[in-house]
Amino acid sequence: MKLVSRWLAVLGVAAIFMAPVSGAELTPMKVGVLRIASQAPFFMGVEKGYFHELGVDVELVFFDAAVPATLAIASRDVDLAVIGFTPAFFNLAYFGGVVVIAGHSRELPGFPNTGVFASNKAWDAGVRTMADMRGRVIGLTTIGSTNHYAVARIGEKYGFDVNDNRLVPAQGLGNLAAMLMGNQVDVASGAGTAFMGLIDQGKAHVIGWAGDEISWQSTGLAASPRGIAEKRAALQAIIDGYERGAAEYSAVLLDKNADGTYKDPAKAEELLALISRWTSVPPKAISQSLAYIDSRLDVNSIYEMVEWYRNQRMIEKDTNPATFIDLTFVPGHENIPAALHAAH
């Protein structure tokens, strides 16, 4: 797979150049994450010592949705966080509170990350396809979240306005999964990690995956402008360790044989068990929902999201991605508009 080949090269380079750093030199850093499988590079970086080898002592701070993680950057409660490209992020960025410095997960065909799920009651009533969401009660983590964006764009594809549905914010993935299981919502959209256990137990059903419907840059890594100015070296070290974890994750779990089996089952089992320890989700469920991860940004995708949210009147009309995208931490970002490319 071309998407994975880059990470295989990164993994080889990381193994050559990373050297241990003594404990006295470690810089303490806090990183905001969610307990979902796509955060695996951070779990690996902590548990396998990748961050320590680069001179940073990373403490993971857990959130149940991307919006609180974004706010934690602006409040300086974390130094770096996995953020969703949401109105909360864009509005904070507009006022100078946050800057995106690397990519994270993308929604792409064949990568089951953000899912759309039906309750048993809705499934029995015939909600089996994306088009069947029309008129149904839809559960989201928060209004304006990445899963809100997903179902809204999918709705556009199938000819309905999601705003005509009743949208229920659960304020977190755990609450959202419970609401779906309890038939309090007909449909829920969110990270598959939070739902695949329910699917395996017959308590909900998969309608489909957002990446098979539309492709976009769903999340990234962000920091505050002050943090970038004061702790740039430590942030770069975190990204370098993160990339090592992402390369290993991709090589072991995504680069499969033609028949869908793992090339190294023992390593896959070990890595799934590691992710399970941090997410409290069974390895089997994790293996069914694995995101594509890339530290490079699909920059034009961010511009498209800004335009969409602007048209929804959910962000400031003068929001300009050029003011809050920093391309200097990671080489090789993709689809960069000419004006932004020139600025960097």
DSSP string, 102-125: EE-EEE-TT---EEEEEEHHHHHT
**Cα distance between residue 198 and residue 212, in whole Å:** 21
What mean pLDDT do residues 203-231 have?
Answer: 96
Helix (H, G, I), strand (E, B) or coil at 306: helix
- Structural domain harbouring 296: 2-108+217-343
The number of folded domains in the chain is 2
| 337 and 248 part of one domain | yes
**Average confidence score pLDDT of the chain:** 91
| 203 and 293 part of one domain | no
**Cα distance between residue 128 and residue 124, in whole Å:** 9
Domain end residue (candidates: 165, 197, 213): 213
What mean pLDDT do residues 213-242 have?
Answer: 97
The CATH number of the domain holding residue 155 is 3.40.190.10
Structure tokens at 79: 């130094």
| 267 and 317 part of one domain | yes
| 8 and 89 part of one domain | yes
| 225 and 96 part of one domain | yes
| 335 and 222 part of one domain | yes
Quick one: pLDDT band at residue 24, thresholds 50, 70, 90? low
| 54 and 192 part of one domain | no
| 161 and 295 part of one domain | no
Place of tokens 């995106």: 100
Beta strand 27-34 pairing with 80-84:
parallel
**Cα distance between residue 104 and residue 89, in whole Å:** 15
Q: Is the pLDDT of residue 15 over 70?
A: no
Angle at 218 between CA 204 and CA 53, to 5 degrees: 105
Domain end residue (candidates: 187, 213, 239): 213
**Cα distance between residue 303 and residue 256, in whole Å:** 33
| 53 and 196 part of one domain | no
Helix (H, G, I), strand (E, B) or coil at 167: strand
| 283 and 208 part of one domain | no
- This prediction has a pTM of 0.87
Q: How many Cα atoms within 13 Å fall on the side-chain side of residue 93?
A: 29
User: In this predicted structure, what is the pLDDT of residue 17?
Assistant: 47
What mean pLDDT do residues 329-333 have?
Answer: 96
Place of tokens 């048209």: 311
User: In this predicted structure, what is the pLDDT of residue 173?
Assistant: 86
Quick one: pLDDT band at residue 66, thresholds 50, 70, 90? confident
Domain end residue (candidates: 181, 198, 213): 213
User: In this predicted structure, what is the pLDDT of residue 5?
Assistant: 53
Specify the DSSP class assigned to residue 61.
Answer: E
| 158 and 303 part of one domain | no
Place of tokens 């090592």: 244
User: In this predicted structure, what is the pLDDT of residue 10?
Assistant: 52
Q: Is the pLDDT of residue 70 over 70?
A: yes
| 21 and 41 part of one domain | yes
Q: Is the pLDDT of residue 121 over 90?
A: yes
